[in-house]
Amino acid sequence: MNCRKLAVKILNRVLDEGAYSNLILSNELNECDLSDKDKALLTELVYGVLRRKKTLDIIISNFVKDIKLMDKTILNILRVAIYQMNFLDKVPAYAACNEAVEEAKEISENDSKLVNGILRNFSKNPDDIEVQGNKIDEYAYKFSFEPWMIRLLFKQYGEQQGKKIMSGLNYVPKVSVRVNALKADYDEVFEELEKMEYEIEEGVVCPEAICIKGGKSIENNPLFNEGKITVQDESAMVIAPLLELEDKMKVLDLCAAPGGKTTHISEILNNTGEVYSFDLHTSKLNLIKENCERLGITNVKVAENDATKLNSDLVSAFDRVLIDVPCSGIGIIRKKPEIKWNKRRNDLKEIVSIQRKIMENAWQYLKPGGIMIYSTCTLNKEENEENIEYFLEKHRDSEAKRAFIGKQDNLVYNKDGSLTIMPNEYMDGFFVAKLQKK
């Protein structure tokens, strides 16, 4: 199967069946016998279409009466073709058009004529696309976001910052890795990666981060297999150091899978003390265990636990507690662009009560004098600053501490001491607050 046809198959799964883009794409990449160049094109097509779906659909709507009535596979064939014609220089327009027409023929002769007509008309006048509606609809076309999400960002951050956030979320993410101090020295790993012909640079904020700008996949890399490095976004890497960890501490990571922050905590503790790593989903616990084994970590206890229900065995048991709570995920759209299309405004409201339950329980698990970190990978202030404000008002024994990690253009320090990380090509959108128990 060629990469364009495979892209359509994956898009059908993600957009119509709710599959996760990162999981299904990595499965297909492992199983298909495409060249490295075609694998790169497949990745570009899948993520590109997911990232720009709104823009593509507005283009297609210029040539059909009602896009909602179209066959879903035909629609994805058109999206892939128009993405190539509009956003990729390396694919000639006639090639993208011919391939799409051939694919549509497998469905029906009429469909292939429809595809042919739309693509030829579009290629004649690609700049004559009409956007129906108001200014928000024009931004929806330009940045490819749903109008409700644009309104939310503008309301919470203002128009200028809102546009910057959308641009940041449309970046193709760079891969960053964390050097595991238990097994390796930063400079040695850096040199090794250079020898392996990776194009790399030092991390932006974290001293243990290396940013990989080009080279082969990192998952089959010997340094990865030996546990000297692990893949983690720099936004997630800033969390564990903010806990002010000291050797032999007892630490709880309450929503831990797949274990990136758990293992980082253990590395900072030099494998001393105890780290309790909990998650609601039993299926994900093995991921945490596998990561610990690969990284040579021995001080972690992994168990299934529902963070929204109080576990009386854990009350006042921990020096430090981390809650990286379930959230709407708006900050990680660079990596999972389908979040743009599968979230609804209501989902954001519903998750707040879950987050607050988790905060209440986590606070009870913390010893007096201890530190709790609350983090999310969203930029929705209802799940971030508003939750912290609610919590501080309710708990007189809580005090906000400053979550400071340095100065960068994309780091915003809020009045309450919390930190919002704005998305850019190096970092996901993230929020972190640091609370101490008096």
Question: Known binder of ligand: residue 406?
Answer: no
Nearest Cα residue to 44 out of 16, 18, 12, 10: 10
DSSP string, 338-349: THHHH--HHHHH
DSSP structure class, residue 16: I
SS3 257: coil
- Supply the DSSP string of 25-79, one letter for each residue: HHHHHHH----HHHHHHHHHHHHHHHHTHHHHHHHHHTTSS-GGGS-HHHHHHHH
Q: Which amino acid would we find at residue 234?
A: E
Structure tokens at 35: 């060249």
Confirm whether residue 222 is marked as ligand binding: no
By the 8 A CB rule, do 307 and 361 touch?
Answer: yes
- Is residue 434 annotated as involved in ligand binding? no
Grouping H, G, I as helix, E, B as strand and the rest as coil, residue 278 is: strand
Looking at residue 49, its amino acid is V
The Cα 176–Cα 396 span in angstroms is: 39
258 is in an annotated binding site: yes
Answer yes or no: is 57 a known binding residue: no
**Is 259 known as a binding-site position?**
yes
Tokens coding 269: 């503790």
409 is in an annotated binding site: no
> Is 257 labelled as part of a ligand binding site?
yes
Question: Is 158 among the annotated ligand-binding positions?
Answer: no
Q: Is 211 a catalytic residue?
A: no
Cβ of 153: how many Cβ atoms within 10 Å?
25
Q: Which residue among 3, 206, 211, 377 is the active-site one?
A: 377
Active-site positions read 377
- For the annotated binding site for S-adenosyl-L-methionine, the residues are 255-261, 279, 306, 324
- For the annotated binding site, the residues are 255-261, 279, 306, 324
